[in-house]
Amino acid sequence: MPLTTAQRLDRLKVRTAELSYWRVRAALAIHNWTFEGTEIAIGQAWPHRNGVVHFASKATVPSDWPLEETRLQLDLGGESLITLAFADGESESFGLDPYHQEFPLKDRSFSIATDSVARFPFGEQNRQPKLNRAQLGWIDLPVHRLHLQLRQIVEAIEALGDHEVVPHMLDAAETALRSLDWPSATAPYIARTANAEQQQKIWQLPELAESPAGLSEEERATVVAAHDMLVTGLKALQERYPQNGELLLTGHAHIDLAWLWPYDETRRKMRRTFHTALSLMERSPDFRFNQSTAHYYAQMEADDPALLTRIKEKVAAGTWEVIGGMWVEPDTNMPTGESLVRQILYGQRYFEKTFGARHQVCWLPDCFGFSGALPQLLRQGGIESFFTIKVNWSETNKFPYDLFWWEGLDGSRVLAHVFDNPMEGYNGFVRPDCYLPTWKNFRAKTLHDTSLLAVGYGDGGGGVTPEMVEREAQLRDFPAIPKARWGKVGDFFTSAHRTAREKQLPAWSGEIYLELHRATLTSQSGVKRLHRRAERALITAETLGSIAHMAGAAAPLSLEADWRVTLKNEFHDILPGSSIREVYRDAERELSDVIDHAEAAQKQAMDAVVTVLPKGGIAEALIVANPSLDARPLRATLADGTVLSTGDIIAPLSIQVLDRAALKPAGGLRADASRLENEHLVVVIGADGAVQSLVHKATGREALAEPANQLWIYPVDKPRNWDAWDIDADYAEKGIRLDRPESIELVESGPHRAVIKVVHRYRDSSVVQRYVLTANARRLDIETHIDWHDRRTFLRALNPVAVRARTATFECAYGVVSRPTHTNTSWDAAMFEAVAHRFVDLSEPDFGVALLNDAKYGHSARGNVLGISLVRGPIYPDPLADEGEQQFTYALLPHAGAWHSGGVREEADDLNQPMVVATAANLAATTLAPVTVTGTPVALSAVKPAEEGDGLVLRVYEPAGRRGGLSIEPESGWHVAEAVNLMEEPAKRDAGPDILPFEVRSWKLKKG
């Protein structure tokens, strides 16, 4: 009876596998190895596996082996950068990992030197590393080619399923195999097949022949003929069954800047990967490779400048594509808008300086959702296109488009592409069973004829293999599968933009929310707070230095070096909290240094201001700097710990000199063990430690429907996957409220500030909270100190407010996002945890309540309950994530009117960046406000030194969705030179209001 297609395919697999055992004609072991200078034999364990170790040896290719058919075959027991030094003085380096273990040779005699680590690509330790294999292999290239061709036929048949070409492909493969004259002599046959899986199951194999013979020349001739016959047959089938669809292949090696390994290992991964890519380019004129991340190239300048020079040559030749336009591939949910600006500004400037061009494609394959601020910033940075695939990871709703306009908060658009490759996503393979589903899943094929496909081992680096390059060439002859060729991502988007001009593509408006990895808004919250502080400290240092300069002090110095460190730590596996402990030790140190440097720059600016302030008779002068565009009541903490909360108003972007002795607290602050009250609020703390009542005195409204600041422990925070990344939707099925505090006491009751302290304990952890009300405060601050010692346990604060609204307002970079408070649809329900920057607000037309914070990002808004996630305790990949102490503050703010008229953003700004104060003697009362901004309310993004030439750059944004006029008036001696984009170049803009909804605008300010 004839076999079924499935049976024939199984038979083809078995007969194809047989060929692999004759791929190596002959092998010669390489001995005389040293490990850190000590002899080590093949098969021997490493003497130790501490840090980077060094192997060395020498080898000579036998004189009768053709050099072009010889390969160095190594498995040293870990990842390595291997350098081969040849007799003529030339050398070549390669990355060695489980996927790159065979290397071509340029000369017969050479030495081998390595930098090796006992690690696998994803950071796992090789706990018993050995020098597993070291040999020269004489490759039987005809056998190799035929074997690979048949493997690809098997993969194509499996992917094509019941396509009518399948029987014909089986016929062609079977005919080719039957034409072989294959050896069968017992001794060499058993020796060559001894490592086959079924042979290894035999109780006892017979004694094996050493150096079993390969194919004879006559037998090899039949292999060559079979291969040629097979290629001819495939080409004939391709005429009958043409290739369907088209993929542009981009060689790629996604290298996580830090993740399951520390950054020092990433530096080694970069070198290994880049050397491998260059070696492939030298041997294949068709191969193309892309690599994002300005930081990587800057690191190469320090670590391996010769390697960077070679890369620059390939960039100039058009075979290596630098891409992305950003300093790193950052998380885009949590960085402030100014951080996203600096990612683009410093990234684009570096690429232009180093490679001669800026980029037009934003390359973010792996980030966990995308801020609606990005399209506008990308366009202002000269970037018109956007790529990701991460939206395919959403676990509830399928993102509806894969070639579309992405429209930002302000209406700016970039052309976006997403490909859906089920075979390792952006770490794709060159295989028929990768091509076919990727093309099948491309939903825009009726509009555009090509999809991207990134291929190469990644996350842990490595990139494309020589086999992938060879596969691409072979697959050009295959029938029925999509056409696929190496190309440049930029060329794909150039073509896609042509399509977009000719056809109407769909549009997605606003943020791209990922329905997965929601815990990345909370995990490693200590580093998140340091990052928030670093951002604010840098922005404030630049602002104070700029104000001082406009007032007559010297020009401020660039803080780009510290910005670069901050941007590095925004990488999408650092800031989100999904890396190992070693990464966070580095991040804590680096961000703390940034904060120290920025605060020193702030002090330097304040000292410089003192030198230009008018002299006078104030013996103890208080110099107060307001680094925002909002007039603020004076609320500050002095160096000696004194708290001031007065009725004085500090003008926007100003330096004001006050007589400390004349300062008086705002009136009406009263407190006892359960009650705090000032001119604006009445606060009652219950016996459960929660806020029982919060009355907004101006409206007489009770802000709470039930007690607020309910602390809830969720002890089953045990996601089914991705421990540090995910929160499963059922986490709240078991909750324990902390409602039996250990103590409640009034610990401070002065004219400027009153404080009630509440102490909670849960198992091995403690939560100490201080309810703080200052004399002039419109908000209740909840200063929180956590000492956390519980794993896989989640702490949140819930706040049921006396407000009903179908949507809540979440602050994001350069604006806000409205999110549903209901679960009408699966899209609504999936957004049970979402990002907010400094506030979430729930408002009726005439009244609302905001929840502010200075360090948190994970929030929820369900019904009338505003929730904030405080700390988690995942055990993977850092078993001690957030173990120990941390401090932060969140606040409750009732207000009249909508959030934007009720001062919500202004109070959040004040919480995150309080006034900066200094003291001096013998000054006159004065106010310096060197630049005023009036008209439509806007918020400050930055005042900074210009990147080129003299002068400053003022950047503001419209935060609420309004439009209107705007006036910028510098003091005498300065003028507004021109409007600029975020690259600080003249900005072309259509006529209309001076500021549009959610628009980011920048101007150069110059002397004269």
Distance CA 891, CA 903 (A): 14
CB-based contact 417:496 (threshold 8 Å): yes
Report how far residue 574's alpha carbon sits from residue 561's, in angstroms, rounded to the nearest whole number: 19
d(C-alpha 971, C-alpha 454), whole Å: 53
Alpha-carbon gap, residue 112 to 12, rounded angstroms: 40
Distance CA 1001, CA 983 (A): 11
CA distances from 453 to 350, 485, 719 (A): 27, 10, 31
* Tokens (6 digits) for 732: 């709240």
Dihedral, CA of residue 703, residue 707, residue 708 and residue 714, to nearest 10:
-150
Which residue, among 276, 280, 286, has the nearest Cα to 307 in the 3D structure? Answer: 276
Contact (Cβ atoms closer than 8 angstroms) between residue 461 and residue 270: yes
The token pair at 709 is: 């600041």
Residues contacting 17, CB < 8 A, separation 6+: 196
Angle, CA 328 vertex, CA 345 and CA 336 arms, to 5°: 65
- Residues carrying an active site annotation: 366
Residue environment code for 837-852, b if the CB has 16+ CB neighbours within 10 A, otherwise e: bbbbbbbeeebbbbbb
Rg (CA), the chain: 33
Query: Phi first, then psi: what are they for 104, rounded to 5°?
Result: -75, 165
The helix (run of H) or strand (run of E) holding residue 587 is helix 581-612
Output the CA–CA distances (angstroms, integers) from residue 823 to 391, 831, 850, 861, in the order listed.
21, 9, 21, 11
Pairing of strands 413-417, 403-407: antiparallel
Per-residue b or e along 192-218, where b marks 16 or more CB atoms closer than 10 Å to that residue's CB: bbbeeeeeeeeeeeeeebeebbbbeee
Backbone angles phi, psi at 586, to 5 degrees: -65, -45
Q: How far apart are CA 481 and CA 436, in angstroms?
A: 6
Distance CA(253)–CA(304), nearest Å, equals 18
- CB contact at 8 A, 873 and 792: yes
Cis previous bond, 877, omega within 30: yes
Helices vs strands, H then E, count in the chain: 19, 54
What is the H or E stretch that residue 152 is in?
helix 141-160
Report how far residue 93's alpha carbon sits from residue 380's, in angstroms, rounded to the nearest whole number.
40
Is 695 within 8 Å of 701 (Cβ atoms)?
Answer: yes
The answer to whether 870 touches 881, Cβ cutoff 8 Å, is no
Q: Name 955's bridge partners.
A: 942, 1002
Strand partners, 385: 361, 415
Q: How far is CA 715 from CA 710, 744, 762, 874, in A?
A: 16, 25, 11, 11
Q: Is 414 helix (H, G, I), strand (E, B) or coil?
A: strand
935 three-class SS: strand
Angle between helix 217-240 and 166-178 (nearest 10): 160
